Amino acid sequence: MRMSALSFSLGMVLATGVNATEPTRCSTPDPSQASVIQLLKRSKVNAHTLNPPGVIKIVWHDIRASNGDGAVSDETLVKQRNMLNQAMRANGIPITFEIFRMPREVIDDKFFATCSDNLALIRQQSFQPENYINVFSCGDNSSLGWAYQPYGDRFDEKDTANRVYVNYRTLPGSNWPGYDLGATLVHEIGHYLGLVHVFYPNPEEGTHHICERGGNPVTGGGNPGYWGDYIADTPAQKEATHGCPAQAPSSCPGAVDSIHNFMDYSFDSCLAEFTPDQIKFMYFVSATARPILWSGGTAASKKTSDNPVLIKVK
């Protein structure tokens, strides 16, 4: 899919070097081969459907500092939701994401600075993780984003550890050059639904297979291995992209780096694509590991004062 096919403007930024102040794009670790195999085994004994749900709900927790930093307006969340939905539709993913907001405010300086991994407070604030993707935004500078991936033999979609973190300055209109169009959330939702970085080898295999093509029994591929990102139609890639190069480099011989793929580290303006096999793999992993979320969630619980409030389109 070429960028010109997108219905939304991402405005190309040409950059070839790495900014000295460039933040860590993502701190989500890629799963081990063993955890992927474990999920494949689970898929053979659990009934699931690969049909995506029409709607996936997000409940947003904007963690604020006592000085007001981190406050996210409804208008900003509408822009972020629209960008997420446009990115999915442009790639043929028929899922509409709705954003809800918890009615209670969370003002906590410590949580504001550590919300990517402050598990005690995350568990306290989390709301029905089997029905909603709990997204926490704050000023944690450890990275721009992080997501809890659905791997491991003890994974439970009802576990309140399930969440996504994004730095609030990555939301649309935040004026953080290179990272303020909302693509961080798209990247982290990709992780949450099972995808890994396009440039990482399997962590158990080291780097000696990093430039080998490989596949997955679910999506097909040239060999039965799990090299790279486990996806058959993403080119072998040895290094993360920085900025938005005018010409895509080839960090592996005979391949061109996926600088426009949402699972790379390019500037927001450069990111636009998921491959067909990434989409298939995301469907498979989500249907297997997150069956309640993937079926559209369970019936709404009894209304309480703590229920999230739907943010309407304005």
| DSSP of 131-189 | TEEEEEEE--TT-SEEE--S-STT--TT-TT--EEEEGGGSTTS--TTS-SSHHHHHHH
> Cα(146)–Cα(233) distance, rounded to whole angstroms?
24
CA angle 117, 188, 239 (to 5 degrees): 100
What's at 267, amino acid-wise? Answer: F
Q: Give percent of the chain above pLDDT 70.
A: 81
| pTM score of the predicted model | 0.89
**Across all residues in the chain, what is the average pLDDT?**
84
Instruction: Give the burial string for 70-83 (b: 16+ CB within 10 Å, else e).
Output: bebeeebbbbbbbb
| Distances 178 to 1, 54, 228 between C-alpha atoms, Å | 22, 31, 26
Over range 213-222, report the average pLDDT.
63
pLDDT for the residue numbered 27:
93
* Whether 188 is catalytic: yes
pLDDT for the residue numbered 21:
63
pLDDT for the residue numbered 5:
31
* Residue 18: pLDDT over 60: no
- Quick check: 51 and 61 in contact, CB under 8 A? no
Cα dihedral 229/150/49/7 (nearest 10): -60
Bigger pLDDT: 49 vs 6: 49
Residue range 150-209, pLDDT digits in tens: 998 789 999 999 999 999 999 999 989 999 999 999 999 999 999 999 987 666 666 666
Chain mean position to CA 49: 21
Over range 211-215, report the average pLDDT.
68
Catalytic residue among 105, 188, 205, 239: 188
CA-based end-to-end distance of the chain = 30
Alpha helices in the chain (DSSP H): 33-45, 74-90, 109-114, 119-125, 183-192, 276-289, 291-294
- For residue 7, count other CB atoms closer than 10 A to its CB: 7
Task: Kindly give, in sequence order, each residue whose CB lies less than 8 Å from that of residue 237, ignoring residues fewer than 6 positions away.
Answer: 198, 199, 228, 251, 252, 255, 257, 258, 264
pLDDT for the residue numbered 220:
61
Provide the residue ranges of all domains of the chain, joining segments of one domain with +.
30-196+278-294
Over range 87-105, report the average pLDDT.
93
Over range 140-153, report the average pLDDT.
92
Q: Which CATH class is domain 30-196+278-294?
A: alpha beta
Q: Label residue 303 by pLDDT band (50, 70, 90).
A: low
Q: Label residue 304 by pLDDT band (50, 70, 90).
A: low
* Residue 223: pLDDT over 90: no
Task: Kindly give, in sequence order, each residue whose CB lies less than 8 Å from that of residue 141, ignoring residues fewer than 6 positions away.
Answer: 23, 113, 167
> Cα(279)–Cα(195) distance, rounded to whole angstroms?
9
